[in-house]
Chain A
Amino acid sequence: MHAGLSSLLCVAAVALTAITAQLASAAASNPPSQVIQGIPAVNPVKQPWIWPLPQNWERGSNTLKVSERIRFEGKGARQPIISKSIKRYQDLMFKKEDYPMIPYNWSTTDNKPSRSSLNTVVIDIKITDDHLDMDTDESYILTVPVSGKAVLQAETVYGALHGLETLSQLVQYYPERRSYYIPNVPWKISDFPTYKHRGILLDTSRHYYTVQEIEKIIDTLSWNKLNVFHWHMLDSTSFPYVSKKYPELAAKGAYSPRHVYTAKDIKHIVQHAKERGVRVIPEMEAPGHSTAWGYGIPEIASCLNTQPYFGYTVQPPAGQLNIAHPKTKEVVYGLINEWAELFPDSFFHAAGDEVVMQCWSNDTYITDHLQKNNQTLMQLFEEFVLDMEDHVRQKNKTVMVWQEMLLEYHFNLPKDTVIQVWIGSEGVKEVTEKGYRTIVSAQNFWYLDLGFGRPRSNPYPEVQGAGFNHWNRVYSYDMRANLTKEEADLILGAEATMWGELADPNNIEDRLWPRAAAFAERLWSGYENPKGEALTSADAILRLLPWRERLVLRGVRAGPLNQGFCTRNPLDCFQPPNLNK
């Protein structure tokens, strides 16, 4: 008896200790480690300082001086988008830095520059039409011979833009000689993206960005060869879009009459982006996250500003579209009609995330409607969503939605729907298993806004590792993990997100860059080069450090990757492997 009791107690004590220890470990649990793959390169210019790294590159050992008055020739150079970009690159190519933080290692190239200099770039574009879409060919071939007459060949305008970017990154300033050189000539670069859809999501509802601020972000996207600007314009917090048909939405729903986007603003941004090879995909956040619609047209909202908000929304303020009201569809379709024209891209994001059923089930308008029509709430919800998406399809658009539509609500979505995964990396498998195409934004790797404390309103569910996503974590994530070949082929690409709870124009640049650049290289250069060799973060950091410096030189407030000593001596700052055990 006594023995039984004591052994019971013994087990209980141990069990409790286990729970305590486990609680402690849960509290202290950290995201999976950031693994640097491979061993550090010995030569910091083992790979060319081009970001993202081209698919195929060959280089020689000559050094070519660069004339500051390069002539751009060929039919391609006269194409309007290209001729505008040439003007930009004539500035971007020649950024002088007398005391570079990371001096270029000129010992890897012939110390005696060749007699000729780079003075001509011939641009050859096969298709002069400037249509931009997901299937646009973005490949290019760039050769820089010792003779100094470079040739840039591309299928489309947009491939040529990428080629110009690469060319501009080949140019290095040589402080001792006070001029610009291309090391390791001759160059032969043949390049193309691994993934077609390479984007950044920007949330302009929680905090407002001016048109200029958005355009600066788009510029930086294009330098990183990112090609999608996912514009999360609307949310519960504000409605900045000035609709022609329903101006009251912005009049009452925007933060102020100054915090708005007019049709003119949008056209300007779309054109600006197009000239840089960036598609603008609008997201019409509905029927969740829609409080701000209800300020202008109250009858289309349910549980508008219910207090306290708990249980009605994941994040204040409460308010979803009233999916039973006829006016709701009218307004939503009206806005889709306007956006379908303003945003020429063939993709349209119809959202559908984070709906809270209690908001609707407590709305008598909706419950009456359900009773009258003998419908369940889920049926009504599905009907609303599918009708809305069909309306988008009628405009010849591909519909993008958030993963809940498929994985949580199990709606009968047509197979052409593109599902954006965000909750965690496991979603990629679940979506592709069902045969849908996907765009990956797994928050445990590619949410760039996380890790800065939790505003009390932060909706993010607890996901292992969903804290600050370090550049190496961003770089190391393999979207294809656990997927079959067929499933992996359904990945169209990915987006890194910058939600607006704790981001605004004051900190957006140091939060986005250089981590979004790490993301960009994965999508452009892929996980292996065409020869099948893995791209490692140990090699990448040696190029990412100078790329960050170049971004700063171009006027972007990219955050530091390290202290100056390590920026300059990265090989001295590698973690010794034996401490990693």
Chain B
Amino acid sequence: MPPPKMNVKPASTHAYKALKLQDPGTTDVSQHPAQPHGPDSSNGSGSDSDTSSLCDHEVFHLRGTSTDGNVSLKASLTKGLQEPTLKPSQDLRMHIQGDGDDDDDDNGNDSDDNERTPFVKKDADWQRYRTRCLAVMVFLLTVNAVLLIWKPWQGKDSLAPVYNSAVKDLPEEQPIWPIPRSFTYGNQTVVLSPGFQIKLHFNTGEPLSPGTYPILEKAVARCMDRLQFKRNTTIPGRMPTEFGIINTPAAAAAADHGPVLSELTVIVGNPQAALEFGMKEAYAIDVHVQDDSPAAVVLHHLVKGSVQERAPIGQTDKVNATLTASTQWGVLHGLETFSQLVQAVRAVTSNELTTAPDQKTDNQLEIPNTPWLIQDEPRYSHRGILLDTSRNYYFVKDILRTLDAMSTVKLNVFHWHVLDQQTYPLVSKTYPELTAKRAERPDYLYTPDDVALIVQYGEERGIRVVPEFDAPGHTASWGRAFPNITVCLDKQPHYKYAAEPPPGQLDPLEPFTYTVLNNLIQEWAVQFPDRQVHAGGDEINMACWRSDDRLRDYIKHPKSRAGYEKRLMPVETSSGMDDTIRQTNARSIFVQSGEDRLLQVYLDRAFGMYTKNGKRPIVWEEIALEHDVRLPDSAIVQVWKSAGNAKRVIKQGRPVILSSADFWYLDCGFGQWLLGSQRESWCKYRSWQKVYSYRLTDKLNTEEQKLVYGGEVCLWSEQSDPSNLDSNLWPRSAAAAEILWSGSQDEKGEYRPLLHAAKRLVAVRERLHQMGVAASPVFPAWCGKHLEACLA
């Protein structure tokens, strides 16, 4: 987004008026001790006639805020603006507001009374105040300078560069997405023979026996289908600029005499590698005409058998095409890239575009710009999409379609946010009543068969399904079946007890809570084979817990705690993870609060159960940053608020998955969903340019960067459902996919420009349309043809 234009004059009058209205009594502060003052409200009083009292007021204000340093200065600034730029939960918002008020009451009031009176009345004190005033002014000017340069209110808005000619781009007709980490190409065109095949070999040269490796075989079949589609399609899509068909006689003529490729040789080291975090996904593709490159000779040697079997093709030039990867997951990515290297050229020219769309044609398939050498591997291992299927239901077919689309852009994690406050759609064998009691449509469920299908479908595409069981907050839906394991269920007013209606949180002191949790975790552990599981932990509302007598007793009276804890299941210590458990030290100067102690009771037990079942927990950032609790070192922290929070988590030595709402919340921008809210929604629409501009390792040193496991775009479902799933997710998720696979920077550290991305993103969108994914446009169709003209 370009910085918003600021019309200084009218806006300033407006702001001035608003401030006047908001705070009419600032000239005599002491009469309004309870009124919160931000720096802006003090300015509202800045009339020339009363300069002295104004300076005094500044003193008052700074005292009020300086105790908390930067954070509360910012807080009071945003408070004055009514709408914090990033205040996702009411819980958080109220917290900040509360802090500000306290400051005013505790510090501002007293100092004000003491110092103000002599100042107004006695001119003799002027000297003293002048010095003070001067100091304040210098400080203020510094703050202003810093703010004006730093621009915290728009700081994270900077986009990736539009142009950067230092970054190498792919040839126009081969818009591979995401862009390979390293590639070279030439200028010769190779033609795929009509009987083109893909053959699988071990790196010993031995062919893979058919029927043994279904994942690889299915991937080959999908790639062949894609090529067949390219052969037969008459027109690629709506936008005539697309990759795919070229209609010039010159191209067709050149192709007729090109060297012919009849086989892609796939060489895989281990075709049965586990699908897990950190799996090897690298691959290399080599397409060249003569056997002159040393690499090709080696490959040749490895696959000698198959090379000899190949029939001579009538052309003098021999073409070698090899895809090597150490695991089947690398092969999957390589096949995807290979299919994107292939271009369809219409063998017959003339004005054929007018033929009926359903008419079959026989395009020629070519690989232009050979020799190609691609060596590719992901920048980050964790590359995902979060989909919330609790707030609105998505059909299994919607999820499968999303997995298909993910595989074309090399995303590898489907973060399935399956449970939340509102509904519990996941059918449990142990506790069928969890879904039976759900308030919504009885057909909006995920049965064990559905889950198995989704997990398998993901696996076949190299996608890990990482489920999220959000707890102990966001659990009202559990309480529909087991009211005794939740507290504050449906308590009104809802905004006091939960970020969203209906309120309801797990009861950490109820023994049955852990019985249910233990059984469910055992069930989930089998259903979702991935080694990682997301344990939630966001937006825990302490007012909800405090509203229950027992929990309040536990919080307020340390002596009572042992009694409550004795009744509970003991903490599981035989963790398979060999973890050290460390304090998050969110507020190290304080003693752990009763609330956090209560949270600790839950976390110790829940994490114990997860680790006993061989699962490595992922938690939302609040656990690490907003609570003072002990957390196992194996835990991965997902950052969702400010992008800068990544650094704070990493400083604790904990690995992160990044999903800052500033960049990667794809559900934002549709206004407030609470009916009748007069507030704007807390986040704006993130354009694809914005999504592409998330620099995950910004401000991190090399060591710290290693703790960035990857990231996820998030589609929460307050205002999304199957009707707008595709248009919200795509092609913006693809933009994130390139950042995650290729990185924001190339090998030389140059930032990838929007211009290159835009050119290729057009093709991604077309590819998605062909798969039946209704991806939104990225700009007017004309711009697809004339991109340079459409970028600023």
Binding site for B on A (CB under 8 A): 2-3, 6-7, 9-31, 33-36, 40, 98-101, 206-208, 236-238, 255-259, 307-309, 316-317, 451-457, 462, 467-468, 470-473, 500-507, 509-511, 537-538, 541, 552, 557-566, 568-570, 572-577, 579-580
14 residue pairs from A and B, CB less than 8 Å apart: A10-B133, A14-B140, A22-B8, A25-B11, A35-B678, A36-B678, A101-B440, A236-B782, A502-B778, A503-B776, A507-B776, A558-B723, A565-B501, A568-B440
- Distance, CA A428 to CA B163, complexed state (A): 42
> Does B133 contact A255, Cβ atoms closer than 8 Å?
no
B441 touches A570 (CB 8 A): no
- State which of A10, A237, A468, A577 has its C-beta within 8 Å of the C-beta of B780: A237
A559–B80 alpha-carbon span in the complex (Å): 35
Select B724's contact among A22, A100, A557, beta carbons within 8 Å: A557
Is there an interface contact between A457 and B51, defined as CB atoms closer than 8 Å? no
Q: In whole Å, how far is B387's beta carbon from the nearest beta carbon of chain A?
A: 14
Q: Which of B1, B148, B354 meets A20, CB within 8 Å?
A: B148
Contact A453 B1 (CB under 8 A): yes
CA distance A200 to B371 in the complex (A): 53
B180 lies within 8 A of chain A by Cβ: no
B687 — nearest CB in chain A belongs to which residue? Answer: A453
Q: Is the CB of A206 within 8 A of B782?
A: yes
Contacts A18-B16, A509-B723 supplied; 16 other A-B pairs, CB < 8 Å:
A9-B141, A20-B148, A21-B39, A24-B77, A26-B7, A36-B675, A36-B678, A206-B781, A258-B235, A309-B789, A457-B790, A462-B7, A511-B727, A559-B721, A559-B724, A573-B501
B726 contacts the other chain (Cβ, under 8 Å)? yes
User: In the complex, are the beta carbons of A316 and B153 less than 8 A apart?
Assistant: no
Cross-chain contact A565 with B40 (CB below 8 angstroms):
no
Option from A18, A99, A557, A565 in Cβ contact (under 8 Å) with B12: A18
Question: Which residue of the partner chain, among B685, B786, B791, contacts A317 with CB atoms under 8 Å?
Answer: B786
Q: Which of B85, B126, B671, B673 contacts A566 (CB 8 A)?
A: B673
Question: How many residues of chain B have a CB within 8 Å of chain A?
Answer: 115
**Complex contacts, A500 vs chain B, CB 8 Å:** 780
Contacting residues, chain A, for B85 (C-beta < 8 A): 28
A504 to chain B: closest residue by CB: B777
Is the CB of B294 closer than 8 A to any CB of chain A?
A: no
Closest approach, in angstroms, between the C-beta of A311 and any C-beta of chain B? 13
Take A255-B240, A451-B685, A562-B718 as given contacts and tell me if A17 and B727 are in contact as well, using a CB distance cutoff of 8 Å: no
Is the CB–CB distance between B673 and A562 below 8 Å? yes
Contact A21 B680 (CB under 8 A): no
A256 near B1: Cβ-Cβ < 8 Å: no
Q: Across the interface, name the chain B residue whose C-beta is closest to A98.
A: B443
A164 to B493, CA, bound (A): 43
Please give the residue numbers on chain B whose beta carbons come within 8 Å of chain A beta carbons, in ascending order: 1-8, 11-12, 15-16, 38-40, 42-43, 46, 48, 51, 54-55, 58, 77, 80-81, 83, 85, 90, 126, 130, 133-134, 136-137, 140-141, 143-144, 147-148, 151-154, 162, 235, 238-240, 351, 353-354, 357, 391-393, 421-423, 439-444, 493-495, 501-502, 669-680, 684-690, 717-721, 723-724, 726-727, 769, 774-783, 786, 789-792
B353–A453 touching, CB < 8 Å: no
User: Is B786 within 8 A of A316, CB to CB?
Assistant: yes
Taking a contact as CB atoms under 8 Å apart, the answer to whether A17 and B144 are in contact is yes
* Cβ-defined contact, A21 with B669, below 8 A: no
Q: Provide the bound-state CA to CA distance between A28 and B38, in Å.
A: 16
CB-based nearest A residue for B5: A462
Query: Contact check: which of A99, A256, A511, A572 meets B502 at CB < 8 Å?
Result: A572
B439 contact from A504, A565, A576, Cβ within 8 A:
A565
**Bound CA span A26–B778, Å:** 27
**Nearest Cβ distance between residue A310 and chain B, in whole angstroms?**
9
**Most B CB within 10 A of own CB, among A17, A307, A561:** A17
The answer on a CB contact under 8 Å between B392 and A34 is no
A residues within 8 A CB of B39? 17, 21
**In this complex, what residue of A is CB-closest to B240?**
A256
Which chain A residue shows the least CB distance to B93?
A579
A33 lies within 8 A of B141 (CB): no
Partner of A207, one of B54, B724, B780: B780
- Are A560's CB and B153's CB within 8 A? no
Determine the residue in chain A with the shortest Cβ distance to B4. A27
How far is the CB of A258 from the nearest CB of chain B, in Å? 6
In contact, A507 and B678 (Cβ under 8 angstroms) = no
Complex: chain B residue closest to A562, CB-CB: B673
Residue of A206, A472, A564, A570 with most chain B CB atoms under a 10 A cut-off: A564
Of all chain B residues, the one with the shortest Cβ separation from A509 is: B723
Which chain B residue has the least Cβ–Cβ distance from A456? B792
Contacts of B776 in A (CB 8 A): 452, 502-504, 506-507
B783 touches A457 (CB 8 A): yes
A507 and B774 contact, CB distance less than 8 A = yes
CB proximity of A502 to chain B, nearest CB, Å: 5
Which one, B391, B726, B786, contacts A564 given CB within 8 A?
B391
Residues of B close to A451: CB separation below 8 A: 669-670, 685
* Contact in complex: A568, B439 (CB < 8 Å): yes
Nearest A residue to B773 via CB reads A506
- Are B440's CB and A564's CB within 8 A? yes
Name the one of A3, A455, A561 contacting B126, with C-beta atoms under 8 angstroms.
A3
Q: Is the CB of B780 within 8 A of A538?
A: no
CA distance A495 to B162 in the complex (A): 36
How far is it, in angstroms, between the C-alpha of A147 and the C-alpha of B475 when the chains are bound? 50
The answer to whether A237 touches B724 (Cβ under 8 A) is no
Contacts of B130 in A (CB 8 A): 2-3, 6
Q: Which residue of A lies closest to B691 (CB)?
A: A453
- Chain B residues within an 8 Å CB radius of A307: 789
Q: How far is the CA of A254 from the CA of B40 in the complex (A)?
A: 54
Q: Nearest CB to that of B141 among chain A residues?
A: A13
Contact between B140 and A573 (Cβ–Cβ < 8 Å)? no
A504-B353 Cα distance, complex, nearest whole Å? 21
Q: Tell me whether A18 and B40 are in contact (CB under 8 A).
A: yes
Verify B727–A28 contact, CB threshold 8 A. Answer: no
Chain B nearest Cβ from A52, distance in angstroms: 19
* A36 cross-chain contacts in B, Cβ below 8 A: 675-678
> How many whole Å from B4's CB to the nearest CB in chain A?
6
Whether the Cβ atoms of B779 and A575 lie closer than 8 Å is no
> How long is the Cα–Cα vector from A19 to B721 in the complex, in angstroms?
42
**Is the beta-carbon distance between A565 and B422 smaller than 8 angstroms?**
yes
Q: Specify which chain A residues have a CB less than 8 angstroms from the CB of B789 in the assembled complex.
A: 307-309, 316-317
Measured between alpha carbons, how far is A253 from B409 in the docked complex, in Å?
A: 34
Separation in Å of the A578 CB from the closest CB of chain B?
8
Contact of B783 among A11, A316, A503, A561 (CB under 8 A): A316
Chain A minimum-CB-distance residue to B239: A255
Given the interface pairs A21-B77, A36-B675, A568-B439, the reply to whether A455 lies near B790 with Cβ below 8 Å is yes
A550 CB, nearest partner CB in chain B, Å: 13
The CA of A236 and the CA of B439, in the complex, are separated in Å by: 51
Using Cβ atoms and an 8 Å threshold, which residues of chain A touch B717? 560, 563
User: Which chain B residue shows the least CB distance to A559?
Assistant: B724
Across the interface, name the chain B residue whose C-beta is closest to A101: B441
Contact of A502 among B11, B673, B726, B777 (CB under 8 A): B777
In the complex, which residues of chain A have a beta carbon less than 8 angstroms from the beta carbon of B726? 506
> B353 touching A258 by the CB < 8 A rule?
yes
* In the complex, chain A residues whose CB is within 8 Å of the CB of B5: 462
B423 / chain A contacts, CB cutoff of 8 Å? 564-565
Residues of A within 8 A of B11 (CB): 22, 25-26, 29
Chain B residues closer than 8 Å to A9, beta-carbon distance: 134, 137, 141
Interchain CA distance A541-B677 in the complex, whole Å: 13
Q: Considering the complex of A and B, which 8 residue pairs feature the smallest CB-CB distances, nearest first?
A: A453-B687, A470-B671, A36-B676, A237-B782, A563-B391, A565-B422, A507-B727, A575-B677
Nearest A-chain residue to B55, judged by Cβ: A10
